[in-house]
Amino acid sequence: MPGRVEWAAMDLTERPRRLRRTAALRRLARETRLDAAGLVAPLFVQAGSGIRTSIDALPGHRRWSPDTVGEEAERLQALGVGALILFGIPESKDATGTSGWDPEGPVPQGLRRIREATSDLVLMADVCLCEYTNHGHCGVLDSSGRDVDNDPTLTLLGREAVVYADAGADIVAPSAMMDGQVAALREALDTEGFQHTAILAYSAKSASAFYGPFRDAAGSTPGEGDRRGYQMDAANRREALREAALDLAEGADAVMVKPAGPYLDLIRDIADVVDVPVAAYQVSGEYAMLHAAANAGALDLDAAAYESLLGIRRAGARWILTYFADRAAEALQTGRWE
Ligand code: PBG
């Protein structure tokens, strides 16, 4: 193929620096760009009113209540952010996560409020039980009390998705890593008349050390045990392709890799073979890590945030869920990032 690298016959007179000489040349030669429309901002919605509580583990982020979250959504819309994804912090938790499918829960209320306040944002809702169960696992426990029971959990996730769709979610995003969760959601949505509601599958979601700040923010750390029995083993690459293929066969409209930065190879593998949009979630720990390093004087936060997002996009992610969404959108809007 002309122009492609032929390792054995490199022309040693080539001068790649010619296209790096000026900012204008670099801009012209740039292969990857970020756009605000592809950014998805995570929002935490807590039951109650008048809440705007800072989250220590996630600098710059707050927990909102349904009555205050509209102002944050308006701010993000004005910056050009493409979408929001909502997580809930309920008033009460129980063994089966009942508050997760309460139509008056924080997420459905927040969705309705944001719909009133904004007109140009895609609204996503995370579908999982860990924020709503008193044991903090992503589904209901079996009789041993140690394992998450897959199939009974599917029914509950389906109920939760229908409630979020009914409250105005354009896209529901199952993140419990139960087998068959996409098919269960599709069927529940179709049965209830939500054929138009799309599913973004957390396909390759690894059991990761990088979720720590999120679990602080959402109060969803498992009481006992961990999530290794359902989230993917961090070592696996082929399994990620299998998970994505299964989710597509079950009816997913888009697939996700999570976390993003340490898993760029999985993003690339999946982006190379699927036709649907590929999303990647730059998770709470990735964000907190860059803030901590910047606070320690080790790096420039803005430049590091840009580079981290660019890497995720370069790996093949079309949509990026990131706690940097507001900063990135502002930087793109003002031309600080190009
Ligand atoms: C729910 C869920 C989690 C995250 C997104 N959805 C927590 C978890 O699996 O423990 C983590 C997001 C982040 O760390 O930013 N299951």
Measured in Å, residue 19 CA sits from the centre of ligand 1 at 41
Which amino acid residue places its CA nearest to atom 9 of ligand 1?
Answer: 211
Mutate to test the pocket of ligand 1, among 164, 200, 202, 211 (most ligand atoms within 8 A of CB): 211
Angle at 247 between CA 244 and CA 248, to 5 degrees: 85
- The count of domains in the chain is 1
Domain for residue 125, yes or no? Answer: yes
Residue from 40, 55, 128, 137 to probe ligand 1 pocket by mutation (most atoms less than 8 Å from CB) = 128
**Residue 5 within any structural domain of the chain:** no
Ligand 1 centroid to Cα of residue 295, in Å, is 24
Residue 3: its pLDDT value, please? 67
Nearest to 315 by CA among 284, 274, 280, 275: 280
Active site residues: 205, 258
Residue 138 near residue 129, CB atoms below 8 Å: yes
Residue 19, domain member (yes or no):
no
Distance CA 327, CA 306 (A): 9
* Ligand 1 midpoint to CA 214 (Å): 6
pLDDT at 228: 94
**Contact status, residue 278 vs residue 297, Cβ threshold 8 Å:** no
Nearest CA to ligand 1 atom 12: 283
Which residue's CA lies nearest to atom 2 of ligand 1?
175
> Beta-carbon neighbour count of residue 336 at 10 Å?
12
Instruction: Give the integer Cα–Cα distance in Å for 87 and 96.
Output: 17
Question: How far, in Å, is the centroid of ligand 1 from the Cα of 175?
Answer: 8
User: What is the CB-side half-sphere exposure of residue 160 using CA atoms within 13 A?
Assistant: 35
Give a yes or no: residue 311 inside a domain. Answer: yes
pLDDT of residue 216: 85
Ligand 1 nearest-atom number relative to CA 283: 15
Give me the pLDDT at residue 223, please: 84
Closest ligand 1 atom to residue 323 Cα is: 15
In a domain, 49, yes or no: yes
Residues at CB less than 6 angstroms from ligand 1: 126, 128, 130, 138, 175, 211, 214-215, 283-284
- Which atom of ligand 1 is found nearest the CA of 211? 14
Please report whether residue 20 resides in a domain: no
- The CATH number that applies at residue 63 is 3.20.20.70
Angle between the 284-295 and 301-314 helix axes, to the nearest 10 degrees?
150
Which pLDDT does position 7 carry in this prediction? 74
Residue numbers of the domain that contains 290: 33-334
Expressed in angstroms, the distance from the first to the final Cα of the chain is 30
In a domain, 130, yes or no: yes
What does each of the 338 residues of the chain score in pLDDT, given as a tens digit? 556 777 777 777 888 999 999 999 999 999 999 999 999 999 999 999 999 999 999 999 999 999 999 999 999 999 999 999 999 999 999 999 999 999 999 999 999 999 999 999 999 999 999 999 999 999 999 999 889 999 999 999 999 999 999 999 999 999 999 999 999 999 999 999 999 999 999 999 999 999 999 998 888 888 888 999 999 999 999 999 999 999 999 999 999 999 999 999 999 999 999 999 999 999 999 999 999 999 999 999 999 999 999 999 999 999 999 999 999 999 999 999 98
Residue 234 lies in a domain: yes
Let me know: does 80 contact 92? Beta carbons within 8 Å: no
Question: Atom 5 in ligand 1: which residue has the minimum CA distance?
Answer: 175
CA angle 310, 315, 25 (to 5 degrees): 50
- Going from the Cα of 205 to the center of ligand 1, the distance in angstroms, rounded, reads 9
The predicted structure's pLDDT at residue 52: 98
Token pair 């493409």: residue: 82
Query: CB within 8 A of 148, min separation 6: which ones?
Result: 137, 138, 139, 140, 141, 142, 178, 229, 230
